[in-house]
Structure 1
Amino acid sequence: MQCKPMPNSSSADQKTIIIAPQTVDCTGVAPMKCLQVKEKETDLWENFYSNIEGFTYEPGFEYELKVKTEKIENPPMDGSSIKYTLIKQVSKTKK
């Protein structure tokens, strides 16, 4: 007998994130530029080391994005265990 997953037990999730109008220097596997993100206006900015599939960043704008997050079963050693995909760009504000 094959078990079917419950409708709400998917490993995909949705969240809203805010992207800062500038990138910062950071180090992943090598030195790179990271987006700054937070989930709420009152949170502190955090470095974001992943890409968001379907999103093109433009410096000088603050973005509010709705994204889908999916757990990656066997992530690469130097990669994130979460895949981010753009669902909707809620806002883009010149800063």
Structure 2
Amino acid sequence: MMSVTGSDQWLRWWCIAAMAVGGTLQVERTIVDVLPVRRPCMGEGVRACLVVRWAGDTTWGAFYDDIDGFPYEPGVQYRLLVERRPIPNPLADASAYAYRLVRICHQTRGDRVTALAPVEKGVAECP
């Protein structure tokens, strides 16, 4: 029996998405900053969400989804380059997007938040 890795699963979803939208994938690359601690959030019950700031934003908020390939470690602040792609026909309470790690641009260990300058919207490579 063959095991499915994260990248295999991503490729499978990628192909399904391509077929669902007529062969055109609407994949967007963006920068996201991740704080070194999670915070409680409410989804399907209470869980611990990442706290993130997206390129173009100055405020931090809870992130309810997963980022495929992202090895989050508590106590480490990250700046990531991620790909975001639409999920065709998502379930009612599910995310409309899937996320995949492209690269860890920056990481700092420690409980203090390092003052990373916000990134402008539209930046699609590590600053």
Per the TM superposition, whether the score is higher than 0.5 is yes
How many Å separate the matches in 2 of 1:16 and 1:66?
A: 5
What is the rounded CA distance, in whole Å, between the counterparts of 1:12 and 1:94 in structure 2? Answer: 30
Residue identity opposite 1:59 in structure 2: P
TM-score (norm. length: structure 1): 0.84
Aligned to 1:33: 48
Among candidates 33, 58, 66, match of residue 73 of structure 2: 58
Instruction: Report the Cα offset of residue 75 of structure 1.
Output: 1.2
Structure 1 spans left out of the alignment, 5+ residues = none
Seq. identity, %: 30
CA separation of 1:92 and 1:41: change in aligned 2, threshold 3 A: farther
Cα deviation code 1:57-86 (max 9, x no counterpart): 101110000000000011123311110000
How far 1:10 sits from its partner (Å)?
3.6
| Equivalent residue pairs, number | 89
Matches within 5 A, 1:1-95: 10-40=25-55, 43-95=58-110
Structure 2 unmatched runs, 5+ = 1-21, 111-127
Alpha-carbon separation, structure 2, partners of 1:84 and 1:42: 18
**Counting helix residues as a fraction of each chain, which structure ranks higher?**
2
Please, what TM-score do these two structures have when normalized by structure 2?
Answer: 0.64
Residues 42 and 69 of structure 1: CA distance in aligned 2, closer, same or farther (over 3 Å): closer
